[in-house]
Amino acid sequence: MDKRETIIIVGGGVFGLSTALNLAQDGFRSITVLDRSMPPVPDGSSNDISRVIRFDYGDKVYAEMGKEAYDLWNTQPEYANSFHQTPCVWTAQQSGPANLVSSGGSDFIRKTKEILTNMGAEWHGLENMEALKARFPTISGNPIGDGFEGFYNTEAGWADAGLAIAGLRDRCIVAGINFVTGTHGQVTGLQKGADGTITAVKTAEGNLIRGDKFIFATGAWTASLIPSWNSMVATGQIVGFLRLTPEEVKALKDLPIVFNLSTGFFIFPPHEDSGYLKVACHSFGYTLSSLVEGEDVSSPPSSAISARANFIPEEGRQRLLAGLGEILPQLVSRGFEKTAICWYNETPTGDFVFDYHPDHKNLFIATGGTGHAYKFLPVIGKYIAGAFQQKLSPELLQKWKFHTEYNKQEKDDVFTGTKSRKGGDGSRGGPKRREFTPQEKDNLLSLTNALAKRSAKL
């Protein structure tokens, strides 16, 4: 591949920035990153106060990649201010609640322990709820109850997501990568040649930005920008932030990350700098659908905003409070100071998409984070760049291919297969995916539009 070619990368999250830096380090001379905002992008899935860093996976490829990334998070100076080591606990109810989609929690626990053992990594079993609370006395509630199963891994932690992205952005700037942001960098469409080759991307400002090759690392916005052929869907996931006192932050500093695989709920240790306790659901989420060139596409709002809208559906709020009540019941009555929707770009199997678009030979797609990509920040760029240059093993190229066969199936059928129902490797739980109601959609869009107008005035 000619390293003098102009590479245009659309999207300044984990995928886009890590790819840009890896290509620059590999000798590519002309790389430009486009986005609505300078990274960390306020409503991008790569930005927040915390992301889980773990290599507990029911999939051998991701477990090994996760261990590779974890070792760098834990040892390299560029991550020293953003990575915090803490145990990660996995729990599930063996039978699973009848009103929830089967999460595959028991399968995840079994497969993950087997993979960790084969890797030579330690894990620690938890026989029951009492064993969990004895090992982690900051947990004051009664998680799971009857049918409890679980384990934990001490080789895990969490990253201050925005801080780590800011550091990655700065390393990109030092490496000579160009950034175009605001309406000048907000991509709204493609200019194509007669043979399908992309000649330029169109921006909200009305400009054309030309290049030789284009990499779309556009996360949950991907299907609204390019034909996705049923290979992905954007889903909104619920997040809540509870304000702690300084005394509470200190008292809860040893709280582990805890996942309930049956409901999807998980909780982080306190974030000392902000004073927030963050909870969320790694679940099946909500869709926000509209017609894009005659196709029903779920996509987040596209307006540039300075922060996520303070909104989640009410039933989602109750799910978060119920999960919090199982871990720290003394905090439930306080409620959340703010909530937010975090957008995933889902694939049917939970695998990433690192491949050229079948209709456009110079358009490479790096997306499909499916709610588990952030942890790979230190290493994912080399894998994306390897796929971009067709240097990966045939097995990895196949695993991360752009699937065209889904175009012949109904979207509901594609995303309700056995592996999809279990969240790829079985780490999902909670109610079935559903569309936001008209009222929920109106609330979300109204709040987002207000934030966009405020941002435009700044």
Full set of structural domains in the chain with CATH: 6-457 (3.50.50.60)
The closest alpha carbon to 123, from 152, 86, 144, belongs to: 152
Residue 270: is the preceding peptide bond cis (ω within 30°)? no
Q: What pLDDT score was predicted for residue 414? A: 72
pLDDT of residue 68: 98
Give the Cα separation of 361 and 359 in Å (integer): 7
Q: How many whole angstroms separate alpha carbon 398 and alpha carbon 401?
A: 5
Mean pLDDT (whole number) for 173-197? 97
What is the pLDDT of the chain when averaged over all its residues? 94
Burial class (CB in 10 A: 0-12, 13-18, 19+), 120: exposed
* pLDDT number for residue 99: 57
> What are the backbone dihedrals phi and psi of residue 398, each rounded to the nearest 5 degrees, phi first?
-70, -40
d(CA 455, CA 458): 5
Q: Which tens digits make up the pLDDT trace of 91-131?
A: 999 875 655 654 579 999 999 999 999 999 999 999 999 99
Q: Does the pLDDT at position 152 exceed 90?
A: yes
Secondary element (H or E) of residue 325: helix 314-327
The pLDDT value recorded for residue 64 is 98
pLDDT surpasses 90 at 358: yes
pLDDT at residue 254 in the model: 98
Cα R_g (the chain), whole angstroms:
21
Q: Higher pLDDT residue, 77 or 415?
A: 77
Residues 253, 275 contacting (CB under 8 angstroms): no
* pLDDT tens per residue across span 266-286: 999 999 999 999 999 999 999
Nearest CA among 205, 208, 212, 216 for reference residue 191: 208
Flag whether pLDDT at 432 surpasses 60.
yes
Q: How confident is the model at residue 22 (pLDDT cuts 50, 70, 90)?
A: very high
Instruction: State the pLDDT at residue 412.
Output: 64
Tell me the whole-structure pTM to 2 decimals: 0.95
Question: CA 315, CA 339: separation in Å to the nearest integer?
Answer: 13
Residue 352 has pLDDT above 70, yes or no: yes
Which residue, chain included where needed, has tokens 């894998």? Answer: 383
**Cβ proximity of 226 and 190 under 8 Å:** yes
β-strands 286-287, 434-435: how paired? parallel
Amino acid residing at 170: D
Q: Which residues contact 168 (CB under 8 A, 6 or more apart)?
A: 14, 17, 18, 21, 39, 377
CA 160 to chain centre: 14
If pLDDT is split at 50, 70 and 90, which confidence band does 423 have? Answer: low
User: Do the bridges between strand 295-298 and strand 265-267 make them parallel or antiparallel, or are there none, so unpaired?
Assistant: unpaired
| pLDDT score at 295 | 82
Q: What is the pLDDT of residue 456?
A: 82
Task: Assign 209 to helix, strand or coil.
Answer: strand
Model pLDDT for residues 40-89, shown as the tens digit of each residue: 999 999 999 999 999 999 999 999 999 999 999 999 999 999 999 999 99
pLDDT bin (cut points 50, 70, 90) of residue 294 is confident
| 73 within 8 A of 64, measured Cβ to Cβ | no
Which residues share a beta bridge with 179?
33
